[in-house]
Amino acid sequence: MAGEIDLMLIASRVVCPNTGIDGPAAVGVTDGTFSFVGTGTAPASLPPAREVLTLGDGILLPGLIDLHAHPANDGSRFGIDPDAYLLPRGSTTVLSQGDAGARNFDAYRQHTIRAAKTRVKLAINFCANGESNPLGRFFSLDEAAVEECARAIDRGGGDIWGVSVNIAYIRGRDIHPLEVLRRGVLAAEQTSRPVMFGATKSAVVPLRDQLELLRPGDVMTYCFHAGEGSIVQGGRVIDCVWDARERGVLFDLGDGTAAFGFEVAEQAISEGFLPDTISSDFYRYHVAHREPHDLPRSVSKLIAAGMTPEQCWPRITSTPAKVLGLGGEIGLIAPGAPADLTFLRASKANGFLSDGQKETRFGPVWEPVATFKAGKLVQPATPTA
């Protein structure tokens, strides 16, 4: 039948922060894009479809966007197969935080960006060798080459979102972290790209001095890191962090192994300092870890720390889409957009949630039930333990 929809999904709650949808809805998919969106539509009044799926309890969202993870099929000590571990867990678009640098970007584009069903963008590592060295990065300032990074960005075009400048754990002796950051920001300025910034995680270089080098639109990840260099000092969010936000610097969760602390998150959230985006920092360590790890679980931790689910949804859909410069293309449910969807369900009983300091909280755990990429159902979520 001409005009027949390929797939119709009927859900008791569809949420799209971009378009304002929040309630019962039916979503139609044709040729991999959304072709019908009907809110509060009675099933009997829907247009014909070749296949109709009625979803149970849960929430249907635009495909989740993880602004900091490590999708890499090879060449990165942190890398994981995005189609095996990220896409089935609800993340249809992922920004790689520095898995490749200028010297291995071309291989990364071939083996990960071009090869994956997952939509992958790269924050190119300012370290020219990326994360290819198992011992770390920045053994010399030769790896902090502005022009080499700029040439790779020009070559990469739309595959490269920005520059990843992580100045924690610099390996070379006598290399000052601020010199690396200055050079990384310069490479970003020369190519009109934003910076994804990882702070020193140390009190040796004040956080104020680091944040002063960032520009509007740059993103500080690991924003709820606990310990030295935290955004919370003396029981409150320090002034330079508020000043940076006022200047337009964005703050991303980056829920890595030791990069998230409940006490920091709880204090910041209580003051009204919420992350602009929520990301998982999902990497190789999490695959074998006993506690599952994915973007919905990172959301669960922030809810346990004081955020509401409604505050979280835009931070994993519409807001990271805008940060990536794709706000009108992904992270929304609207006719003509790619039909990427994630169906989540919260556990009925409170679950165990932990941070990088082995502090624990209990609360509802959001789990990915089904992911649709371009209207096609992805295989069930891959266990991470």
In a domain, 350, yes or no: no
Which structure tokens are listed for 88? Answer: 């089935």
Supply the pTM of this predicted model.
0.97
**Bridge-partner residues for 49, per DSSP?**
5
In a domain, 28, yes or no: no
In a domain, 74, yes or no: yes
Domain containing 210 equals: 63-323
Q: Are 37 and 25 in contact (CB under 8 A)?
A: yes
Which structure tokens are listed for 263? Answer: 């006490």
Predicted pLDDT at 357: 86
Which structure tokens are listed for 362? Answer: 């209990």
In a domain, 359, yes or no: no
Rounded-to-10 torsion of CA 186, 189, 191, 195: 80
Q: How far is CA 228 from CA 62, 153, 202, 225, 307, in A?
A: 36, 33, 5, 9, 24
Predicted pLDDT at 370: 97
Predicted pLDDT at 217: 98
Over residues 54-81, the pLDDT tens digits come to: 999 999 999 999 999 999 999 999 999 9
In a domain, 17, yes or no: no
Q: Are 333 and 365 in contact (CB under 8 A)?
A: no
In a domain, 2, yes or no: no
Number of domains within the chain: 1
Predicted pLDDT at 383: 46
Predicted pLDDT at 41: 73
Over residues 87-145, the pLDDT tens digits come to: 999 999 999 999 999 999 999 999 999 999 999 999 999 999 999 999 999 999 999 99
In a domain, 313, yes or no: yes
For residues 362-380, b (16+ Cβ closer than 10 Å) or e, as one string? ebbbbbbbbbbbbbeebee
Q: Could you tell me whether strands 219-220 and 376-377 are parallel, antiparallel, or unpaired per DSSP bridges?
A: unpaired
Q: What is the CATH number of the domain that holds 269?
A: 3.20.20.140
Which structure tokens are listed for 334? Answer: 């609207």
In a domain, 1, yes or no: no
For the chain, which residues score pLDDT lower than 70? Answer: 1-3, 380-385
How does DSSP classify residue 149?
H
Torsion 295-297-299-301 (CA) sign: negative
Over residues 293-312, the pLDDT tens digits come to: 999 999 999 999 999 999 99
